[in-house]
């Protein structure tokens, strides 16, 4: 009787939601777009700044797909992972099931393209989270090429193909993972942008206008993401973390509808996310 009662109690107890933390800067909180303040009540902003951002898009996707995640974020504009470790350690040092780490867009603000600090901070943060939960899944968000650093002079990426910066950021993330094998995955977000361009879904150069029938992945500053860019970022992260095909969300997915993304655009971006994950960014390499 006791064993049957114990089994009944277990069956009656709802499963606990998996916890997930997003650490990053404006590329995570959705700056320069409606994503920044999207559904802040659906996530926990550890800095209490009312941010929804990409984590809120992830939460919306997960809810629609039937997953149960307790979503948290800790973000700061223009901040590196080393800064989060030094200045926000008290807020983030707790037990998590999943963590997504997003580094500064050029890897190092003072030495663009240099991954040294990125590799060290990724290692230190992974060690910190593993002390709380040895089974935590830590992922690196490899972000996109910046048109302002590609199509304008004065940058190490000036005059190169639009894919170049995203590929460099991805290579740095791969190096960080190799240096810290406990890091679970690298999310090919920047390469998804390139995949969308190569598939004819997104425009490659926002400085000469957006081609008819295509979406612009960048905001007006040609630096941050647009709502389409952040939507694609969230789709890639959702697919990688949950192992659930982003296309299953469907053209009439709620977050897209809330943001004003047309059904055909939502479906196309979902397909790009799925293809990018299938090829591990190969379609944008």
For residue 131, the enclosing domain spans 18-284
Q: Which residues 6+ apart lie within 8 Å of 150 measured at CB?
A: 157, 158, 159, 160, 161, 162, 164, 165
- Decide if 100 is inside a domain: yes
- Decide if 11 is inside a domain: no
Q: Which residues 6+ apart lie within 8 Å of 90 measured at CB?
A: none
pLDDT of residue 9: 44
pLDDT of residue 176: 98
- Decide if 8 is inside a domain: no
Place of tokens 């992260």: 237
- Decide if 3 is inside a domain: no
- Decide if 7 is inside a domain: no
Instruction: Return d(Cα 40, Cα 57) in angstroms, integer.
Output: 10
Cβ atoms of 102 and 122 closer than 8 Å: no
Q: How buried is 13 (Cβ within 10 angstroms: 0-12 exposed, 13-18 middle, 19+ buried)?
A: exposed
Cβ atoms of 80 and 121 closer than 8 Å: yes
Q: Bridge-partner residues for 24, per DSSP?
A: 75
pLDDT of residue 267: 98
How many distinct structural domains can be found in the chain?
1
In this structure, what CATH number is given to the domain that contains residue 142?
3.40.50.1110
Q: From the DSSP assignment, how many helices (H) and strands (E) are in the chain?
A: 12, 6
pLDDT of residue 14: 56
Instruction: Return d(Cα 176, Cα 166) in angstroms, integer.
Output: 15
**Mind giving me the DSSP string for 185-211?**
EEE-HHHHHHHHHHTTSB-S-GGG-PP
- Decide if 184 is inside a domain: yes
Cβ atoms of 234 and 253 closer than 8 Å: no
Cβ atoms of 65 and 72 closer than 8 Å: no
* Encoded tokens for 30: 């959705």
| CB hemisphere CA count around 129 (13 angstroms) | 27
Per-residue pLDDT in tens (0 to 9) along the chain, 285 residues: 445 544 444 444 457 899 999 999 999 999 999 999 999 999 999 999 999 999 999 999 999 999 999 999 999 999 999 999 999 999 999 999 999 999 999 999 999 999 999 999 999 999 999 999 999 999 999 999 999 999 999 999 999 999 999 999 999 999 999 999 999 999 999 999 999 999 999 999 999 999 999 999 999 999 999 999 999 999 999 999 999 999 999 999 999 999 999 999 999 999 999 999 999 999 977
Q: Bridge-partner residues for 141, per DSSP?
A: 102, 187
Instruction: Return d(Cα 243, Cα 35) in angstroms, integer.
Output: 23
Instruction: Return d(Cα 114, Cα 103) in angstroms, integer.
Output: 12
Instruction: Return d(Cα 24, Cα 217) in angstroms, integer.
Output: 19
Return the axis-axis angle of helices 263-279 and 227-242, rounded to nearest 10°. Answer: 50
In three-state secondary structure terms, 284 is helix
- Decide if 42 is inside a domain: yes
- Decide if 9 is inside a domain: no
């Amino acid at each position: 009787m006791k064993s049957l009662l114990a089994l009944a109690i277990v069956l009656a107890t709802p499963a606990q939601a998996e916890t997930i933390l997003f650490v990053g800067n404006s590329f995570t909180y959705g700056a320069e777009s409606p994503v920044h303040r999207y559904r802040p009540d659906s996530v926990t902003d550890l800095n209490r700044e009312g941010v929804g951002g990409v984590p809120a898009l992830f939460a919306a996707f997960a809810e629609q797909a039937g997953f149960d995640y307790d979503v948290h974020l800790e973000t700061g504009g223009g901040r590196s992972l080393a800064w989060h470790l030094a200045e926000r350690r008290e807020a983030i040092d707790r037990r998590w099931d999943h963590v997504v780490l997003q580094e500064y867009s050029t890897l190092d603000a003072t030495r663009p393209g240099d991954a040294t600090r990125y590799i060290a901070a990724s290692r230190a943060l992974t060690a910190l989270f593993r002390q709380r939960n040895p089974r935590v899944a830590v992922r690196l968000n490899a972000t996109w090429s910046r048109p302002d650093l590609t199509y304008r002079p004065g940058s190490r990426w000036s005059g190169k193909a639009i894919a170049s910066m995203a590929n460099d950021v991805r290579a740095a993330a791969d190096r960080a993972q190799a240096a810290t094998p406990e890091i679970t995955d690298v999310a090919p977000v920047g390469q998804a942008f390139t995949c969308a361009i190569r598939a004819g879904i997104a425009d490659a150069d926002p400085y000469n206008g957006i081609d008819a029938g295509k979406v612009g992945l960048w905001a007006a500053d040609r630096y941050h993401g647009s709502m389409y860019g952040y939507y694609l970022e969230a789709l890639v992260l959702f697919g990688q973390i949950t192992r659930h095909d982003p296309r299953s969300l469907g053209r009439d997915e709620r977050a897209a509808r809330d943001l004003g993304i047309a059904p055909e655009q939502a479906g196309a971006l979902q397909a790009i996310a799925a293809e990018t994950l299938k090829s591990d960014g190969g379609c944008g390499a």
